[in-house]
């Protein structure tokens, strides 16, 4: 059993060889012992799939939360990537911005007594722990670029051509912004088209990274458990208790031990 466990890490690095039909050295003995059985190769491939799924659980969390855009663990906003370090998400940006509804437009302002469009953006992100530049042209360089309005998510920033105005996208065709002197911070229908925009920026993930990671991990773990159970059955290992314990780790160990001993049916 200890020998089996010591080889698991080696097997992880050779999964691609298993899937491509080649027999890595770490499984050479088991493959030779079962050379006459077509089910051995199938079992090895199944084990590779199951093991890969188990080791990869949660790997897609951050990427999924960012909508496929590049990410960085930075807390401050950065150029070219979605910043995940603060733990804030797009919905938090929307909630934070709504607190300033009704605040009068004041050029250069960045407080509840008055603010302009970029002052609003900077203040909202600052309260979420995310450092942002002060003026629109600099804010327009932060985060990752979203290709089009069709892919925009709540909390993204829409920057008008000329980079003289910036608004916060709320979803459902709505935006929140500080318009101009004489107006207050307000929610209106988005009047911009893609052709009107200089850029769309995602500063923080569209959804919470923790929730996305947990969901992705649960999904992959469930698929892995199913694969392991199927593999164990094909090798004659019935139930997690066959490995002397409970859970998918014991089932994996029992299945691997059977495979390496050349016991595939």
By annotation, the residues acting in catalysis are 117, 165, 177
Burial class (CB in 10 A: 0-12, 13-18, 19+), 104: middle
Q: Is 128 within 8 Å of 86 (Cβ atoms)?
A: yes
Encoding tokens for residue 64?
């999924």
Cα gap 156→90, rounded to integer Å: 7
CA distances from 211 to 13, 56, 58, 134, 199 (A): 29, 17, 11, 30, 28
**DSSP-assigned letter for residue 146:** P
* Neighbour tally for 85: CB within 10 Å: 16
Q: Is 211 within 8 Å of 92 (Cβ atoms)?
A: no
List of residues 6+ apart from 253 with CB closer than 8 A:
1, 4, 5, 243
């Amino acid at each position: 059993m200890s020998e089996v466990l010591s080889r698991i890490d080696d097997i992880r690095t050779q999964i691609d060889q298993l899937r491509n039909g080649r027999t890595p050295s770490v499984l050479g003995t088991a493959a030779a012992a079962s050379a006459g059985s077509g089910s051995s190769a199938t079992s090895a491939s199944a084990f590779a799939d199951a093991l890969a799924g188990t080791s990869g659980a949660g790997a897609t969390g951050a990427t999924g939360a960012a909508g496929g855009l590049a990410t960085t663990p930075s807390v401050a906003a950065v150029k070219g990537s979605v910043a995940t370090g603060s733990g804030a998400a797009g919905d938090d940006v929307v909630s934070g911005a709504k607190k300033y509804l009704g605040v009068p437009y004041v050029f250069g302002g960045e407080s509840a007594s008055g603010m302009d469009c970029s002052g609003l953006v900077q203040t909202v992100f600052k309260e979420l722990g995310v450092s942002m530049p002060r003026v629109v042209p600099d804010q327009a360089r932060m985060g990752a670029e979203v290709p089009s309005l069709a892919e925009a998510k709540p909390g993204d920033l829409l920057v008008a051509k000329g980079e003289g105005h910036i608004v916060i996208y709320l979803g459902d065709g709505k935006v929140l912004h500080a318009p101009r002197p004489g107006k207050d911070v307000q929610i209106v229908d988005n009047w911009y088209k893609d052709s009107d925009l200089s850029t769309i920026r995602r500063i923080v993930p569209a959804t919470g990274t923790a929730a996305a990671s947990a969901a992705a991990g649960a999904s992959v773990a469930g698929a892995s458990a199913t694969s392991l159970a199927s593999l164990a059955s094909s090798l004659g290992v019935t139930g997690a208790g066959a490995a002397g314990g409970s859970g998918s780790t014991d089932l994996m160990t029992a299945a691997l031990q059977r495979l390496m001993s050349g016991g595939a049916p």
